[in-house]
Amino acid sequence: MTETLFSKIINREIPADIVYEDDECLCFKDVNPQAPVHYLLIPKKPIDRLTSAMPDDQYMLGYLLLKAKQIMADAGHGDAFRLVINNGPGAGQTVFHLHIHMLAGRAMGWPPG
Ligand code: AMP
């Protein structure tokens, strides 16, 4: 996979406001927040989008969801948050390293835009 903004953040080539990190994943604040809390959770494994995930990514994908739950709870938003994955340009994906948007701190409308 080619280098992306997010692989550069993992490698500390560009700065980010990091919220959480372990061997599997990195969580940092979105530079253009759409809610009072807007974090991005990414796997360290370079995978460009959800549709590129393979059966052996099952553990990593489950790990990210459970980690998102923990990070939101630690931020005081364990009861009300939204997770979003934009898959492909038609769905609004602009950075091609899989990421989960984690949004909280305001009322969320439905349907999403
Ligand atoms: P998406 O449109 O789903 O691909 O989301 C990409 C997200 O990355 C957007 O919400 C951007 O605001 C965010 N973003 C872009 N560059 C950075 C950066 N250097 N640090 C943190 N977030 C970023």
pLDDT at 103: 98
Q: Given this model, what pLDDT does residue 70 score?
A: 98
Q: DSSP readout, 72-96?
A: HHHTT-TTSEEEE---SGGGT--S-
Q: Which amino acid is at 99?
A: H
Which residue of the set 38, 77, 97, 99 is catalytic?
99
The DSSP 8-state label assigned to residue 12 in this structure reads T
pLDDT at 113: 78
| Ligand 1 centroid distance, CA of 30 (Å) | 6
The pLDDT confidence band at residue 2, using thresholds 50, 70 and 90, is confident
Rounded Cα distance, 44 and 24, in Å: 6
Contact 51, 93 (CB under 8 A): no
- State the average pLDDT over residues 76-80: 97
Mutate to test the pocket of ligand 1, among 31, 84, 101 (most ligand atoms within 8 A of CB): 31
Q: What separation in Å is there between the alpha carbon of 55 and the centre of ligand 1?
A: 27
pLDDT band at 1 (very low <50, low <70, confident <90, very high): low
Q: Is 99 considered catalytic here?
A: yes
What tens digit of pLDDT does each residue of 7-64 get? 999 999 999 999 999 999 999 999 999 999 999 999 999 999 999 999 999 999 999 9
Q: Tell me which residues have their CB closer than 6 angstroms to ligand 1.
A: 5, 14, 16, 28, 30-32, 40, 86, 92-95
Q: Is 90 exceeded by the pLDDT of residue 69?
A: yes
Q: Are 16 and 28 in contact (CB under 8 A)?
A: yes
**pTM attached to this predicted model:** 0.97
Exposure string for 18-37, b = 16+ CB within 10 A, e = fewer: ebbeeeebbbbebeeeebeb
CA atoms within 13 A of residue 17's CA, in its CB half-sphere: 9
